[in-house]
Amino acid sequence: MTSHPKDLSDELIEVIASSDKVCNSVHLPVQCGSSRILKKMNRHYTKEGYLELVRKLKAAVPNVELTTDLIVGFPGETEEDFQDTLDVVKEVHYASAFTFVYSKRTGTPAATMEEQVPEEVSKDRFNRLLEIVNAQSLATLEKYVGQTVEVLFEEISKHNEEVLSGRTETGLLVNTPAPKEMLGKYVNVKIVANKTHYLIGELAN
């Protein structure tokens, strides 16, 4: 299940920082950057509280990579509320984000709320958000190009049987030409290319 900011306790942050058995990757859904809309969503945290949690995590784990969930167009969302979301995205600088346009679900409290956001407005905000999120993903992966990192190979690529897919300790996807015998092993890989949503590597000498 996806995590909730309320579950990222000081104790858990300390474990992430100190344990070599835990990846330096945290999925921390914010949903929206507006405290007003977060209250309507019944999320029980504020923009300020979320950002303070992120600052605390980054101070304890400097090389942590964060991912998140984002929704635009929730009932009552104004342009100012949307700008609050962009503020959070710009400050946190996510490695990647699952982005959604709000859609009405029968039986939920939100479905009967007034001020439903017009579809064209939601789509415009979604596209503006996606532009920033994709630029951040590109920049995050770019900093790894030229570095040698440890990768846990997890599976054979669906597109090429001679390529193994795995992840870094910060949760980034890496595709590398490698023998099948390396599946399930930690291997040093030199990152040679950035494909925005994943990295290309080669076995390090």
Check whether 124 has a pLDDT greater than 80.
yes
- pLDDT class of 107 with cuts at 50, 70, 90: low
182 and 81 share one domain: no
Query: Is residue 155 domain-shared with residue 138, that is, in the same domain?
Result: no
Helix (H) and strand (E) counts in the chain: 5, 8
Condensed to tens digits (0 to 9), the pLDDT of residues 17-68 reads 999 889 999 999 999 999 999 999 999 999 999 999 999 999 999 999 999 9
- With both helix axes pointing from N to C terminus, report the angle between 47-60 and 10-18 in degrees, rounded to the nearest 10: 30
> Where is the domain boundary, 104, 122, 142?
142
pTM of the model: 0.88
Do 49 and 125 reside in the same domain of the chain?
A: yes
- Whether the CB-CB separation of 51 and 38 falls below 8 Å is answered with no
Amino acid identity of residue 14, one-letter, is: E
For residue 197, the model assigns a pLDDT of 87
Longest dimension (CA), the chain: 61
Same domain, 165 and 124: no
Residue given tokens 């509280």 in the structure block:
49
Q: Does pLDDT of 1 surpass 60? A: no
State whether 171 and 129 are in the same domain.
no
For residue 177, the enclosing domain spans 148-203
Length of the chain: 205
Joined together, the tokens standing for residue 34 give: 């507006």
CB count within 10 Å of CB 141 equals 23
DSSP-H helix ranges across the chain? 10-18, 35-40, 47-60, 79-92, 119-142
Tell whether 116 and 16 lie within a shared domain. Answer: yes
- Domain boundary pick from 123, 142, 161: 142
Same domain, 83 and 101: yes
Domains identified in the chain, total number: 2
How do residues 149-161 score in pLDDT, each as one tens digit? 999 999 999 889 9
Q: Summarize pLDDT for 60-88 with one digit per residue, the tens.
A: 999 999 999 999 999 999 999 999 999 99
Domain shared by 77 and 20, yes or no? yes
Same domain, 49 and 24: yes
Asked if residue 89 lies in contact with residue 126, where contact means CB atoms within 8 angstroms, the answer is no
